[in-house]
């Protein structure tokens, strides 16, 4: 049994969003923003929004922590959130679970968003900031 909460083969999107948000309206809004904007920002990734949401599941970031990642770490910037997901996925800019936990707990400390986004753009040249 995996530690992941999402099983896209059997879950409807609303169920996924409710699970990711854990009842936190800010986290739900973040997921909706991903659904609305991810494909334009990350055009080379098939189903970019779903991929980012699945990556958040892998990173074990839900509810209030998801909202704090977006609000405090990413400064309410959806491209920055997607860049963090991609950096974690591809092992870029030293993004790992410990660094994310520290950043979430300390209002973004330890993450240079400009440098991180640049690394993601170097790796994914069509990533739109």
- Residue-wise pLDDT for 81-112, tens only, equals 999 999 999 999 999 999 999 999 999 999 99
This prediction has a pTM of 0.91
Distance of CA 74 to the CA centre of its chain: 10
Band (7; pLDDT cuts 50, 70, 90): confident
CA 56 to CA 122: how far, in whole Å? 22
Distance of CA 65 to the CA centre of its chain: 11
- pLDDT at residue 9 tops 90: no
Please say whether the dihedral angle defined by the alpha carbons of residues 20, 23, 28 and 30, taken in this order, is positive or negative.
negative
Which pLDDT belongs to residue 1? Answer: 39
Question: DSSP code of 73?
Answer: I
Which pLDDT belongs to residue 125? Answer: 93
């Amino acid at each position: 049994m995996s530690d992941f909460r999402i099983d896209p083969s059997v879950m409807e999107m609303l169920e996924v969003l409710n699970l990711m948000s854990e009842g936190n309206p800010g986290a739900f809004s973040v997921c909706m923003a991903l659904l609305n904007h991810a494909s334009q920002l990350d055009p080379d990734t098939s189903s970019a929004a779903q991929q980012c949401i699945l990556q958040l599941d892998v990173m074990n970031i839900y509810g209030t922590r998801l909202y704090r990642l977006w609000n405090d770490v990413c400064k309410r910037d959806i491209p920055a959130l997607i860049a963090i997901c991609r950096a974690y996925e591809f092992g870029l800019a030293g993004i790992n679970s410990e660094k994310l936990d520290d950043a979430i707990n300390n209002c973004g400390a330890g993450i240079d968003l400009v440098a991180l986004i640049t690394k993601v753009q170097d790796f994914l040249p069509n990533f739109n900031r």
